Structures are given as structure tokens and as C-alpha cells.
Amino acid sequence: MKKMSLRKRSQMIFRNHFLTHSMKINNSTISLNGLEFKSKIGLFDFEKESGNTFIVNVSIDVDKIIYDDTIEGTVDYSNLFSIIESEMSKEYNLIETVAHKISSSIHSQIKNIKLCRLEIIKKNPPIDGNVDNSSFILETTS
């Protein structure tokens, strides 16, 4: 009989305990908030040249998380950040467009997503008035 490693045994005990002593899980949400980027997103030439500050908040509802205390059983936050960072580093005219691109990439690269809620906040938008920010919120399902 093959001897089980301590880590594997701990994971099995954790999983069995969780499965036999847990309540029903209705929803699991993973969020990253306050991701700040300097991006060249905007309609005007000066926005493309100097860029602007954007804040991104993302929440994803996942269909299935394996509660075994390993990264393989959940969503890797660094992967989620990289997807967002990749799109925010590109040049776009509208935050609506980049939001759709990010959401599409999240759905295609991360498994078991039920819902993705993405907010992109543009600090100091070029509006003739005293405006702190503008934002776009997009919710998508698989």
C-alpha cells in the first residue's frame, strides 16, 4: 500500500470535514478592488498622450470552488489581475470597450464563472465642471 504524504492527507481530512460538516453554499464571490492603472484610454489626443488614472473593481461569482486549501481549487488572484492589467495597458477610446474586452478575457481564461461584475472608474474625466470621476459597470454571465 502506497504511503500518503502529510500534505495530501491533510487536504483529504480538510475536504472530508468540510463536506460532512458544512452548510449549503449558495454563492462564492471572489473580488479584487482598487486596482489602479495609468492608462491611455480616452477620446482626446491629450488623454492618449499623457494618460489618466483608472481604478478597477472586479467581482466574479464562481460556480464551483473545491475547498481543499489549494490554488488549483479556486481562482488565482494574480491571474485575474494579469488579465485586467493586460487590457488596461492597451490604448482604447472608451472605458466601455475595455470593460467588454476584460470581461470577455476573464470568461475565456477562468473556468466556472457564473457572473463577472466589473467597474472601471476614470479619475478626473475631461468634463467642464467639478467631477471627481466617471465610471462604467458591466455585469456578464457565462
pLDDT one-digit tens code per residue, 24-41: 777 889 999 999 999 999
Residue at 11: amino acid letter: Q
Query: Angle, nearest 10°, between helix axes 95-109 and 77-88?
Result: 150
Over pLDDT 70: what percentage of the chain?
83
What are the structural domains, with CATH classification, of the chain?
A: 26-141 (3.30.1130.10)
pLDDT one-digit tens code per residue, 43-86: 999 999 999 999 999 999 988 776 677 777 788 999 999 999 99
> Global pTM?
0.80
Alpha carbon of 84 to those of 13, 34, 35, 67, 68: distances in Å? 36, 12, 9, 25, 27
